[in-house]
Amino acid sequence: MLRRTESTVQLLDRVRMHLETIYRDTPLQVTPEDLARELIQVMRLDEADCTPESHVNYWTQRDSIVITYGDTLLREDEKPLVTLKTFFDSHTEGMISGIHILPFYPWSSDDGFAVLDYSSVNEFLGDWGDIQAIASSYDLMADLVINHCSSRSLWFENFLRGQDPGKDYFFTASPDDDLRAVVRPRTSPLLREVETSEGTKHVWCTFSHDQVDLDFRNPDVLRQFVSIVRQYLDNGVRIFRLDAVAFLWKIPGTNCLNLDETHEVVRLMRTLVEHANPGSLLITETNIPNRENLSYFGNANEAHAIYNFSLPPLLVNTLITGNVRHFKTWLMSMPPAQNGTTYFNFIASHDGIGLRPAEGLLSDEELDLMVETMLHFGGHVSYRALEDGQNKPYEINISLFDALQGTTAGPDTWGIERFVCAHAIMLGLEGIPGIYIHSLVGTRNDYQRVQNTGAYRSINRHQWQYDELEALLNREDTTHAQVFSRIKELLSIRGRQAAFHPNATQFTLHLGDNICGFWRQSIDRRQSIFCITNVSAEMLPLSLCDINLIGTDEWVDLVSGTQFQSREEVLELQPYQTLWITNKADYAGT
């Protein structure tokens, strides 16, 4: 029975209103108020009496997250989750605040994103005790694979048999439905024909035929996922990545993307999570054009953070062309995140470099040139199906280190500098940085893994033997050690600067087509940092007059330690050099 305090009554009203919006066109067997009571009890919010504050930033400049699979690092006779924690405990020295462990559940395909059982840890990786151990030392980010699950899951087997749980869990449609407008990231048929105890049905498969889409019109599916969220919270998960959430709600005849009901489900999840554990965060993973992606902030009442999907293709384009014009235009168009929300910045991940988020920002000719360059650097291209039956490049599959080994003119000797430069730009931007573990250690394309799996994305999912990686990181002459050392140093510097708070002010600077520049100012306005990067392979002059340094302050470059004596100085920027020029070095704020 729900305790009736003032805060729980308010919560009940909020949850009920979310549900009325979600199910306004869907008949329910229970009233929205009764369903609201059930969800509140599942989340055990009836035991609490708290109302979370709004517009609170639960992050600082010291926050950064490493993205990794649970089995990226392997050591004989040791569970990979134990090995993973050992690596970060030994090597990151407090510079990493969080770890995003990609799906650590039992799975059947797509390296974890076809989930067999949401309530278990893949026994090869470890157990819930290992997850809790990581969560005790780091902010743990986990995937809520909410759009679909494995066709070999118990839920789907029960769907085929007409049994619970699962009987009505999956979205079905007719081949005669108007599905021409449906937006998809794959080229496989949308519908999969299956035989069930009730006859032939066609299940909806946005991604693959082993990943069957769940039907949130059935409130039992919602109940299941609220229960899963509660379990993850109990095991130490603080940050929830809502995987592929943009595809959640389907209405034949529409594009089935970013529908109003989908946004309301995100709002509901935020309400439940923030009441269960203020400080827990939702991050939406929506690999879609930029304007649509921004919509998941809502009015600071949906995602706490959104994946900044336009950043990877735009930054790669900038560095292979040596021209910052499109990147600068995009920066100027990005609205400052309200307090209580922020961007999740990344330039590499377990997936490829998405091209849809660059639509409208780069021309088709520029996208084609980037694809051609990445193919020349050993990458692959994955496609998606269009409404007219044609296929269009959807993402580039390549390790970031290989993607930045040269320019559109071909490979050159500036690969390491260009690669570190990309991270320096990202680390300076408004938002929380997410660094893929393979970028942290400079991993190259893994062609053998592609051959073994037959999946292009495997090119950037190398598995390291722990002792081999250790040996490489301990040798100063290796690329891996040089990259690791320099990115860690940038992270260390970043964490000490109040002007790098994820919500600190950001303005774009206009320094020509070959120099990327933006200004950050701390929330208390006491520290300024001018982030300036030469994005070309040529030496370039920079006059300090052009960045309007205040003459009464003393200015220093945080990266090199160089002090500037005069605003009239003209600097020679080395190829791919980054300056972080500040008036208050190592100022962490008040």
Do 385 and 299 touch, CB atoms closer than 8 A? no
Q: Is the dihedral of CA 209, 147, 168, 387 positive or negative?
A: negative
Per the annotation, does 444 bind a ligand? no
Residue type, 138: Y
288 DSSP 8-state letter: S
Do 173 and 202 touch, CB atoms closer than 8 A? yes
CA–CA separation, 388 vs 528, rounded Å? 51
Per the annotation, does 213 bind a ligand? no
Per the annotation, does 291 bind a ligand? no
Helix (H, G, I), strand (E, B) or coil at 294: helix
CA–CA separation, 398 vs 352, rounded Å? 7
CA–CA separation, 239 vs 285, rounded Å? 12
Rg (CA), the chain: 24
Measured between its terminal Cα atoms, the distance across the chain in Å is: 45
Per the annotation, does 143 bind a ligand? no
Per the annotation, does 243 bind a ligand? yes
Q: Which residues of 231-243 are buried (b: 16+ CB within 10 A; e: fewer)?
A: ebbeebbbbbbbb
Q: Where are the beta strands (DSSP E) in 229-326?
A: 237-243, 281-285, 305-307
Cα dist from 341 to 179, 449, 511, whole Å: 35, 37, 29
**Among residues 71, 139, 143, 243, which one is catalytic?**
243
Per the annotation, does 148 bind a ligand? yes
CA–CA separation, 506 vs 362, rounded Å? 23
φ, ψ for residue 12, nearest 5 deg = -60, -40
- The H-or-E segment that residue 519 falls in is strand 515-521
Q: Can 243 be counted among the known catalytic residues?
A: yes
CA–CA separation, 494 vs 20, rounded Å? 44
Cα dist from 319 to 305, 313, 420, whole Å: 26, 10, 11
Per the annotation, does 202 bind a ligand? no
Per the annotation, does 351 bind a ligand? yes
CA–CA separation, 373 vs 392, rounded Å? 17
CA–CA separation, 115 vs 148, rounded Å? 8
Q: Which residues are catalytic?
A: 243
Binding site residue list: 110, 148, 241-243, 350-351, 457
Which residues are annotated binding-site positions for substrate?
110, 148, 241-243, 350-351, 457
